A and B are shown apart, each in its own frame.
Chain A
């Protein structure tokens, strides 16, 4: 398990501030996308985020546009997971499809503060921060196959192979 730090934001963090519309229809490389992450929310994020860091937010994370770079840019920036009270529907699907861990927890978002140490114990479904532990909800069964396959493209390849 790699330890990182908490980046903390509020409710209704939308995909425009996670990844601006002015870049959405340009096809940027992962490292270029990482450099744009959260540009209109927190200009300090992209410069200072480290692999293993975790974004912690309130309800309805990722609302707004269906642009999946809003998930891809965080993954490219090394974000280990997004922990939120809830996720917007399309964002949740996109994150699962692209292999960004999206963890729903009702208590961790209020308890954790910016800069807190954090690591995710995936096998046991726990969020660890110093002496504190928080639970996250298990993923819905429908998406486990996608996660296990390593993302939607790999899952789709398996499906196509099975048809042959």
Chain B
């Protein structure tokens, strides 16, 4: 019997062949944390150690509330900077860089066949590069800083085979929303989700990141695309250190295999207040809303901004809508500047936010008043997440959000394709 990718990578870590359901102790290759590093530092100090076990493995990106929105956040950032200096942590990315998942990927810590632990639930994103990457909590991260170890249960794998090509105006976000809507927010709880099939290779790395990022919204422990020529091309100039491409064996055992025909897909939207409350955009078209958000770690890369700019070019954001643009990183922002996309957004009447998490998690930069509605490209629409308890969040693709921003009502982007 062959092994899945996850069984294979965790077998390497265990030093023996392990299958789904077994528990191993693993030494991770990298560990990511962000603004929550100050809380991790607090837990780490309770362990009574002077030094972290492996400073070179720690990657810290300040992104959640950057620049600091008030004095409390400023104190947190200061605590982190001081700890980084004291411990000699080489890979620290201060507030100018962007969302951790984009920055971590651009800096190419996301390497095939490596094991990455992140104190953020969307750590699953790095599966787009063929890594095994899972989210954990703060105390768990403090324990890893101290021991360079974590216990992991080897997950079963749900394989999702993608066939066909997207129709114009339909993209990766629509695919993952459809998958989550059909299968539910807990379908992949404790499982690995492997995206495969003939269409998988056609996905850009940015689009693979969309699917792996949102695999977390179906409960997945990790997401995965098998590395291919696109992955290796990306790594050629960026890879930090050695890596090994690991793929599932042809006779690997899957918990289930789901099949999706992308060519039949129409634009999708997740309605309040759960990510699996998904409908075709056509079913809610015409709904009036107040704020648009294009960007985030889910859809803030160049191809996303391009899709939005194509629709916004030569048009104006509807006067009833505030349109926020949130590039995922400084690198993306700069590319968007050089390609003229930012000028397009400004001419259309958009507000440019600095790369980071922005309003997605509800701490600053564009929160909602009671009764307001946001249509955004982010990954969560839980009640109250972006402001008032009785505000509403809809999640869709960059094209859908851009088309909606122009019309002032939720709109199907295929009219603009």
A residues contacting B by CB (< 8 A) are: 11-12, 14, 16-17, 20-22, 24-27, 39-41, 43, 59-60, 63-68, 71, 86, 88-90, 93-94, 97-98, 140-142, 151-153, 155-157, 159-160
Contact (A21, B385) CB under 8 Å given A12-B186, A60-B219, A66-B121: yes
Interface of B, secondary structure class, is loop
| Distance in angstroms between the alpha carbons of A90 and B146 in the assembled complex | 20
What count of chain B residues pass the 8 Å CB interface test?
Answer: 49
Q: How far is the CA of A115 from the CA of B189 in the complex (A)?
A: 30
Known pairs A25-B73, A26-B72; A17 contacts B382 (CB<8 A): yes
Given known contacts A66-B137, A94-B140, A153-B139, is B73 in contact with A160 (CB within 8 Å)? Answer: no
Please name the residue on chain A nearest to B143 by beta carbon: A156
Determine whether the beta carbon of B46 is less than 8 Å from that of A63: no
Given A65-B121, A66-B119, A86-B189, do A93 and B362 touch, yes or no (CB 8 Å)? no
Q: Which residues of B contact A26 (CB under 8 A)?
A: 72-73
Q: Which residue of B lies closest to A70 (CB)?
A: B137
Alpha-carbon gap, A83 to B23, bound state (A):
24
Residue of A with least CB distance to B118:
A66
Given contacts A59-B186, A152-B143, contact A16 B384 (CB under 8 A): yes
Interface: B185 (CB within 8 A): yes
CB distance from B343 to the nearest CB of A (A): 32
Cβ of B136 and Cβ of A153 under 8 Å apart? no
Q: A21-B363, A25-B65, A160-B47 are in contact. Are A14 and B382 (CB under 8 A)?
A: yes
Alpha-carbon gap, A63 to B385, bound state (A): 13
B259 near A: Cβ within 8 Å? no
Q: Is B384 a contact of A25 with CB atoms below 8 Å?
A: no
| CB-contact partner of B190 in A21, A39, A67, A89, under 8 A | A89
Q: Assess whether B140 is in contact with A16, with CB atoms less than 8 Å apart.
A: no
**A25-B76, A90-B135, A153-B139 known; A16 and B380 CB under 8 Å?**
yes
